[in-house]
Amino acid sequence: MYTLTVAGGNLFAIAAQQLGDATQWIRIAQLNGLDDPILSGLTTLTIPQTDPTATGGIAQQ
């Protein structure tokens, strides 16, 4: 894991750039306690390690 500071944007694009799969946005959201994939302002995120076996885009109920 590592941290990344961004100025706005969305978790879809960050997941695509950092994890190679936009559907992994939910992993970033859960790790950072976020409900909304759209970011505003300056935000520091913890980015998880790449996991090709992770399911993408759907939060566990």
Distance of CA 45 to the CA centre of its chain: 8
DSSP string, 2-37: EEEEEEEEEHHHHHHHHHS-GGGHHHHHHHTT-S-S
For residue 15, the model assigns a pLDDT of 96
Query: What is the C-alpha to C-alpha distance for residues 38 and 16, in angstroms, rounded to an integer?
Result: 14
For residue 58, the model assigns a pLDDT of 59
| 43 within 8 A of 15, measured Cβ to Cβ | no
How confident is the prediction along the chain (61 residues), in pLDDT tens digits per residue?
999 999 999 999 999 999 999 999 999 999 999 999 999 999 999 999 988 788 666 555 5
For residue 51, the model assigns a pLDDT of 85
For residue 60, the model assigns a pLDDT of 54
For residue 28, the model assigns a pLDDT of 97
